Amino acid sequence: MSDARAQVIQALDALVADGLIVAGLAGRDGLPVLMKSKRPVQEETFSAMGAALLASAEAVLQELAEVRPALALVEAGDLRLAVAGIDDSHLLVCVAPASIAADKLRKVVDDARARLKTVLGG
């Protein structure tokens, strides 16, 4: 196993250990790269829909000339979904219980995004 792959696995494992339900690395094309989950998920669908959500959010924000990295947060029932771009090829898709405050989830995702960007050579 490559050092980068091991570091990505370690980062995703840490997110799940810290209370997230799902933490996944996906390609911007929607294909899953690595996924850690406490619950069963269909990785291909999960990754593809996360990529579509972030691409849509980025397109909307570009209409307002916003170019900083986007973070999409969606709440439904007892869950929060966060999707964040890491670089031009990868994104981070996370699901947390709604008991984790949105601000805390945003910080967790931002920290993981920075770590993964370093690991992936961004």
Q: Point out which residues pair with 96 in neighbouring strands.
A: 80
Contacts of 120 by beta carbon, 8 Å cutoff, 6+ apart: 4, 8, 86, 87, 89, 90
Could you report the per-residue pLDDT of 66-116, keeping only the tens digit for each? 777 889 999 999 999 999 999 999 999 999 999 999 999 999 999 999 999
Could you report the per-residue pLDDT of 16-29, keeping only the tens digit for each? 999 999 999 999 99
What one-character DSSP code corresponds to residue 64?
T
Q: How far apart are CA 96 and CA 18, in angstroms?
A: 10
Please give the backbone phi and psi of residue 89, each rounded to the nearest 5 degrees, phi first: -115, -20
* Residue 82 · residue 38 · CB < 8 Å: no
